[in-house]
Structure 1
């Protein structure tokens, strides 16, 4: 297993402090705040720690309340809202410096059979034919507001092998494109032993789900994002539905689009497919999208 993946798994292995209270560390971010995918994944870990192992998260709804401090630990408190025969509901609040920075509600369910249908997976090139982050990002270093951002982005993604199907927003800033972005991703290594469990795969996908989701909003307006200095952005809320089993250490296609942007905010929708075409996860997020003045 790659050392950076071991580090990421360590971030998601929260320290129990008291009953239903956990503490997590933070990773250095490319912006001066905690990465949203990290706090969402850690909050989901905390929720999952309070239910029987046969109950898995099928949905989460969350709000980013304040920027997190990447230099300080985060405390997660879990409220056991309800435990029924098939479903459990949990509310998680992430706290730093005495203030809530993130709020998550999660519903968890015992696995059962039911009706089945899904949208088809879009046709895209195989991930092996696409450039890695190490090959792609240095090509556009001169477009970033600070060349050091390249190294920070690479560092942030060493645990994740993420490959753009089409050119990312920072590569075509100034050109309006279809509001749709597609990436293949998987963690950089094979999960085994104690890490090879359904909760780990769910939480790792939650971590990655916040990385490129708002790209589709940027593409519609020819904006390159905060990396080129033409947008001030941040995640406002984040919702996910987990439909079918998947592995985060096998290739997953993240297909996203944006139906609207208005009021300094943009809405993005995502679908995560397994390589064999099963719809595994649906995602929706609204993000802050302010044009600098």
Structure 2
């Protein structure tokens, strides 16, 4: 591939008709369409039905069917509520006539208010101490399938640097940064949907690592079931964020994970939760 794929292109919709949008798809080499893609595209579709002074503050979603990375995603937006300071949107993502994803987003106009933060950012080495995770797949002698070789460029718009940690804690620390700096009309809205996209990366891994397993194990089956995301403060995703995640529980073939995203200055930017399918074939 000659040109580096851009998140902005992936998350910019083509308007088909009022409240109905079409998005392209990326094949990241997974078994199905990457959940972060359809989640961020749903948010983008909702954003395109609102003025830029409304910013998303919470998103709650369900993954209903596996998506197909070879075909576009269509998003239908329902304008549930338009208030003076809050607005609500419901978004359905559709492929082949089926709803594969259902989502509710709440937006708010910025306003002054009381502010506090109790969680403290963990004391971990900074991103400059680690190389990008994708680099290990491009080293001489590493053998990849043709599909994974073709997929590598699509992983590069989000720089990811994992901090080594003890698997027994079921905790993981990952530095994230958006590698592109496109000039867009609504930069904060763009960075919100880009972070929404990135929040699904590695999230279930804290549960997988707790059991001494890896996503590359052929007998491990992973899939996102639901995902919730709260945006607490404005941020610049071209700067590094620390994604702290842990898995308090797994049972009945499902794993529950929760995460927090901190700026390098220690501000809590966003919080996330997810439940996912975690099966191990005998």
What TM bracket, shorter-length normalisation? over 0.9
Partner of 1:162: 160
User: 1:137: how far off?
Assistant: 4.2
Partner of 2:36: 37
Distance 2:243 2:109 in 1: 26
TM-score, normalised to structure 1's length?
0.89
Distance 2:83 2:50 in 1: 11
SS at match of 1:4: coil
User: 1:166: how far off?
Assistant: 1.0
User: 1:266: how far off?
Assistant: 0.2
User: 1:222: how far off?
Assistant: 0.7
SS at match of 1:177: helix
Q: 1:282 aligns with which of 267, 271, 274?
A: 271
User: 1:32: how far off?
Assistant: 3.2
Structure 2, unmatched stretches of 5+, are none
User: 1:138: how far off?
Assistant: 6.0
Partner of 1:231: 220
SS at match of 1:266: strand
Distance 1:222 1:152, change over 3 A: farther
Distance 1:154 1:195, change over 3 A: farther
Partner of 2:209: 219
| RMSD over aligned Cα atoms | 2.1
Distance 1:205 1:72, change over 3 A: same
Distance 1:75 1:200, change over 3 A: same
Partner of 2:4: 4
Are 1:79 and 2:70 matched, yes or no? no
Instruction: Give per-residue Cα distances to partners, 1:8-36, cap 9 Å, x unaligned.
Output: 21110100011111000100122232110
Distance 1:121 1:149, change over 3 A: farther
Greater shift, 227-236 or 175-184, is seen at 175-184
User: 1:136: how far off?
Assistant: 3.4
User: 1:112: how far off?
Assistant: 0.9
User: 1:135: how far off?
Assistant: 3.6
Contact 2:175 2:242 in 1 (8 A): yes
Partner of 2:184: 194
SS at match of 1:43: helix
Partner of 2:247: 258
Distance 2:146 2:163 in 1: 25
Contact 2:28 2:152 in 1 (8 A): no
Distance 1:235 1:106 in 2: 18
Aligned length: 279
Instruction: Give per-residue Cα distances to partners, 1:43-101, cap 9 Å, x unaligned.
Output: 00001111121110000000000011111111100000011121000000001111100
Contact 2:27 2:151 in 1 (8 A): no
Structure 1, unmatched stretches of 5+, are 168-174
Query: Which 4+ stretches in 1 moved above 4 angstroms?
Result: 146-150
Greater fraction helix:
1
Instruction: Give per-residue Cα distances to partners, 1:120-162, cap 9 Å, x unaligned.
Output: 11111010111222443468x98x9x76676366333211110
Contact 2:35 2:224 in 1 (8 A): yes
- 1:75-224 aligned within 5 A: 75-118=74-117, 119-137=119-137, 151=149, 154-166=152-164, 177-189=168-180, 191-194=181-184, 197-224=187-214
- 1:19-34 aligned within 5 A: 19-34=18-33
TM-score, normalised to structure 2's length?
0.92
Contact 1:179 1:217 in 2 (8 A): yes
Contact 2:8 2:182 in 1 (8 A): no
SS at match of 1:16: strand
